[in-house]
Amino acid sequence: MYNFEFTKPATIADAVAALGQDDAQALGGGQTLLPTMKQRLASPGTLVSLNAIPEMIGVCVNDVGEVCIGGATTHAVVAREAAASYPALAALASHIGDPAVRNRGTIGGSLANNDPSACYPAAALGSGATIKTNLRDIAADDYFQGMFETALEDGEIITEVRFPVPHKANYQKFVQPASRFALVGVFVAKYADGVRVAVTGASSEGVFRWAEAEAALSANFSKSAVEGLAAPEGAMISDLHGTAEYRAHLVKVMTGRAVAAAG
């Protein structure tokens, strides 16, 4: 990879200042960014590590019962520390990549990158999470804007992600075995005001909500409610791992499995 300046600030304010330089890029766990830089698909002039900012690391539950996760918290820590407060989220985190990747990769990095096959976008959209940055709070419904596209401005940092905890939830991932990303992943969450269904891996638009399934499951939270639906439409990804039709079918199957597993 091309060389760059490296800096590791200890506060959010210093990180924001460092990211104000030309050609600066934030570094989370680096599990996507560093391989991308090795391929010379990215060549920032400065990397600003977000891994030494104490207030961006950790899992807690706030006064209104939301699970709050610092943007630089690794998947392994979420898997351990959210297990009691939001088991479906912890289970999702515990199956990202492999153990060594989970010890480095961060939730903020994953959401900022918004890979169309990543797991965390499904959890954030499926939970109606709030993406908190150094500038503002962004609702998940407004945050994801297409493949690798988000509402983040240049230099804006995800400092925390807040998840309202559902009554029931489950994530089902059909693994692409070489990359361990989701060929299709579906996050289902049942809240007092309705059910949310978020799908990753399937659409070339990135993570999306499956409105028909949400309506059906809000009326009747059972696997049979999903079985009566037509497979979702939209710009499904078609590649050597699966056709668009196959992915659309998988969305329905994985949604049914998630509902059944949520109980």
Amino acid type, 138: I
Please choose, out of 26-34, 124-132, 152-160, 248-256, the segment that lies near other proteins by the rule CB under 8 A.
Answer: 26-34
Q: 160: closest CA among 84, 11, 55, 245?
A: 55
Name the residue nearer to other proteins (CB basis): 52 or 215.
52
Amino acid type, 67: V
Please choose, out of 33-41, 62-70, 83-91, 122-130, the segment that lies near other proteins by the rule CB under 8 A.
Answer: 33-41
Amino acid type, 45: G
Write each residue from 191 to 210 as x if it is in contact with other proteins (CB under 8 A), else as -, in one continuous string: --------------------
> Judged by CB under 8 A, which of 15, 18, 27, 131 binds other proteins?
27
Q: Which residue has the tokens 């153990």?
A: 99
Q: Which of residues 42-101 bind other proteins (CB under 8 A)?
A: 47, 49, 51, 76, 97-101
Name the residue nearer to other proteins (CB basis): 83 or 101.
101
Name the residue nearer to other proteins (CB basis): 30 or 146.
30
By the rule CB under 8 A, 4 interacts with other proteins: yes
Q: How far is the CB of 183 from other proteins (least distance, A)?
A: 16
Name the residue nearer to other proteins (CB basis): 101 or 261.
101
Q: 28: closest CA among 164, 161, 173?
A: 161
